[in-house]
Structure 1
Amino acid sequence: MAATGQAVAADYVIDTDGAHASIQFRISHLGYSWLKGRFNDFSGEFQYDAANPGDSEIAVNIDTASIDSNHAERDKHLRSADFLDVQQYPEASFVSTDYIPNGDGTATLEGELTLHGVTRPISIDVEKIGEGEDPWGGYRVGFSGETEFALADYGIDYNLGPASETVYLELEVEGIQQ
């Protein structure tokens, strides 16, 4: 592997311990500004082979109670039955079903997002950021992704007006080869 500079098919764990991964969101606040936040606690694993990227797979689990919009009262409301209902749905998840490379370092990641007790297909636009040996003797690969979805598609129907119906997700994933 060191001789080629490329990883072969391998399993990776998302580096959340080192804070080299993030799940961030934004949603319009009544059409006047962007509310931004993140999920602080999540975990995941993926398989990736640079020679055969179409064979890639990923699974991610998110602790919905870890939502953080930098405002304690708003976060309490977001955790309530009006939005995430973390008592009933303490976890969200994403499991890939297909990885479609475009041949230029970008791809479409297809999969099933489960949120608020509802599972629906979703597509994520992905860009490979890089891969290689790290300073600690390991091997890493990183990706960035973006997607969007309507809250109503996942049974979240709290009315904030038409400008606030869509959530935009930004995903940063750095994996450590196992």
Structure 2
Amino acid sequence: MSELTADMSGDWRFDPAHTRIGFSTRHAMVTKVRGAFNEFDGVIHADVENPSNSSVQLTIKVASIDTRSEQRDGHLRTNDFFDAPNYPEITFASTQIDQVDDRNFIVNGDLTIRGITKQISIPIEFVGVERDPGGQLRAGFEGTRRINRQDFGVKWNTAMDSGGVLVSDRIVLEFEVSAVKVENNSDGGG
């Protein structure tokens, strides 16, 4: 199934084993650093017939940041960047979802990083829905959104000899979501 149908209405949970909540940014102004958060909890409430009644909630554990460099990850957890001891979570709560066409949505909501909340809009593509071999109904969504880290109090940087900076202010948030429908399987068993 690759289209939205009424039976998709209901609650869906992000499957952490098949979902990536990531980011990328320029490093030294010439290369990209990519990373992801490995611990998060996401819930979608879908109302297919009236998407404006749908919602998304996402909580990310900052300490789970993974850029494939323990030294860099440790630095990102400090007050220079995310200040994980004082702000252990990044949250997103949708405030409005607009359907653009059969496969595309704009998810508007409040993104909170380091205790600073900003309204952002995330273009999201519905990739499809299938029942997996385990019998679970699974839907895929993808999207990206560019933000300025300075807007969220993530200000650390160092100057390069060339006049640039080590870390770009522009961060691309990357969402590759596999969500599993919460279904009541009442089979009469115990």
Normalised by the length of structure 2, the TM-score is 0.85
The residue aligned with 1:25 is 23
Separation (CA, whole Å) in 1 of partners of 2:8 and 2:142: 20
How far off is 1:112 after superposition? Answer: 0.3
Counterparts in 2 of 1:99 and 1:30: CA distance versus 1, 3 Å: same
Separation (CA, whole Å) in 1 of partners of 2:156 and 2:7: 46
Q: Which structure 2 residue ranges, 5 or more long, are not aligned?
A: 159-164, 183-190
Paired residue secondary structure (1:7): helix
Q: Which structure 1 residue ranges, 5 or more long, are not aligned?
A: none
AA at the equivalent of 2:89: E
How far off is 1:121 after superposition? Answer: 0.5
Q: CA RMSD in A?
A: 1.8
AA at the equivalent of 1:129: V
Residue number among 97, 104, 119 corresponding to 1:121 in the alignment = 119
Counterparts in 2 of 1:56 and 1:5: CA distance versus 1, 3 Å: closer
Larger Rg: 2
The residue aligned with 2:145 is 147
Separation (CA, whole Å) in 2 of partners of 1:52 and 1:8: 12
1:170 aligns with 2:178: no
Separation (CA, whole Å) in 2 of partners of 1:65 and 1:152: 20
Separation (CA, whole Å) in 2 of partners of 1:163 and 1:67: 16
The residue aligned with 1:89 is 87
Separation (CA, whole Å) in 1 of partners of 2:52 and 2:137: 20
Q: Contact between 1:43 and 1:61, CA under 8 Å: does it hold in 2?
A: yes
Structure-to-structure mapping, 1:1-178, within 5 angstroms:
6-16=6-16, 19-160=17-158, 161=165, 164-178=168-182
Q: Contact between 1:39 and 1:67, CA under 8 Å: does it hold in 2?
A: yes
Paired residue secondary structure (1:85): coil
Separation (CA, whole Å) in 1 of partners of 2:77 and 2:109: 25
How far off is 1:132 after superposition? Answer: 3.0
AA at the equivalent of 1:122: I
How far off is 1:133 after superposition? Answer: 2.2
Separation (CA, whole Å) in 2 of partners of 1:159 and 1:138: 45
Counterparts in 2 of 1:101 and 1:39: CA distance versus 1, 3 Å: same
Paired residue secondary structure (1:77): helix
How far off is 1:54 after superposition? Answer: 3.0
Q: Contact between 2:25 and 2:168, CA under 8 Å: does it hold in 1?
A: yes
AA at the equivalent of 1:28: R
AA at the equivalent of 1:116: R
Paired residue secondary structure (2:25): strand
How far off is 1:5 after superposition? Answer: 6.4
Separation (CA, whole Å) in 2 of partners of 1:86 and 1:15: 24
Separation (CA, whole Å) in 2 of partners of 1:32 and 1:163: 10
